[in-house]
Structure 1
Amino acid sequence: MLTITQTLHDQIVAHSRADHPDEACGVVAGPVGSGRPERFIPMLNAARSPTFYEFDSADLLKLYRDMDDRDEEPVIIYHSHTATEAYPSRTDVTYANEPGAHYVLVSTADADDAGPFQFRSYRILDGEITEEEVQVVEAYPAA
């Protein structure tokens, strides 16, 4: 199960809507080994495409160096689908190379600025897709 704060949830949805009709993409980092998403990091879709996303290789290298410096890892890798449901495509599965990450998809296919959207989370391991429950909380419990 993915537990995420309302603030992070809303930031991912807002980024997805803002980049529509292109796919949005980004990462939510958290302390190594915690499984807790904490730091929202919107990325630029280098492909600038409505049908797929691609992280810029230089931006991705900077991101991973920054996360290493902060003792963080990618807890969520997210992107949007602008014309289809929030379910991983074959390409998404091919690029899913973080076995511990939650892969969040937001569909903006039927959405306007205030309309409905899909927000779903998956684990993708060795090409196998498993949908998981998403729990949105106001804040995480104190450690």
Structure 2
Amino acid sequence: MLIIDQATYDAILAHARRDHPDEACGVVTGPEGSGRAERFIPVPNAAMSPTYYEFSSEDLLQVHKDLWDRDEEIVVTYHSHTATEAYPSRTDIARAEEPNSHYVIVSTRDGAEQQSYDGPVEFRSYRIVDGVVTEEDVKIVAAYAEVPSSELGDN
């Protein structure tokens, strides 16, 4: 299960809406081994495409340098789908290289990209390991303080 705080959830949605009609992408990092998705890092979509996202090698290198300096790890890798459901594509599956990451996909189809949209939003999380996709529940909390640390460790 992915446990994510409301502020980070809102930031991912805002980024997906802002970048629509192109796919948005980024990561959320946290202290190594904590399972806490704490630091939201939007990354420019180097592909600038409505059907594909890509981190530039420079952006990816900078993210990893920051992780090293802060003793953090990637907890969530996210991107948006602009015209399809929030389910990993073949490309998404092939490029999933972080076995411990939660892969979040937000769909901005059907009007969900609009800031004033108040309908349901597809915000789904998956584990992708060796090409096997497993959907997981998402629990949104006001703050991590309300979640027992034993629950976060499995996050």
Structure 1: 5+ residue stretches without partners: none
CA–CA distance in structure 2, aligned partners of residues 36 and 114 of structure 1: 29
AA paired with 1:126? Answer: D
Structure 2: 5+ residue stretches without partners: 150-155
Q: Deviations over 1:52-104 (max 9, x none)?
A: 10001111001101111000000000000000000000000011000000000
CA–CA distance in structure 1, aligned partners of residues 128 and 84 of structure 2: 19
What is the aligned partner in structure 1 of residue 127 from structure 2? 123
Structure 1 residue 138, shift from structure 2 partner = 0.3
- Give the SS at the match of 1:141: helix
Task: Compute the RMSD of aligned alpha carbons.
Answer: 1.0
Structure 1 residue 141, shift from structure 2 partner = 2.1
Percent identity of equivalent pairs: 64
Q: Deviations over 1:88-122 (max 9, x none)?
A: 00000011000000000000011222323210000
Question: 144, 148, 152: which is aligned to 1:140?
Answer: 144
AA paired with 1:49? Answer: S
TM-score by length of 1: 0.97
- Give the SS at the match of 2:145: coil
What is the aligned partner in structure 2 of residue 81 from structure 1? 81
Structure 1 residue 35, shift from structure 2 partner = 1.1
CA–CA distance in structure 1, aligned partners of residues 16 and 30 of structure 2: 21
- Give the SS at the match of 2:76: strand
What is the aligned partner in structure 1 of residue 115 from structure 2? 113
CA–CA distance in structure 2, aligned partners of residues 34 and 51 of structure 1: 33
TM-score by length of 2: 0.90
AA paired with 1:113? Answer: Q
Count matched residues: 143
What is the aligned partner in structure 2 of residue 68 from structure 1? 68
Higher helix share: 2
Q: Which consecutive segments of 4 or more residues in structure 1 shift more than 4 A?
A: none
What is the aligned partner in structure 2 of residue 7 from structure 1? 7
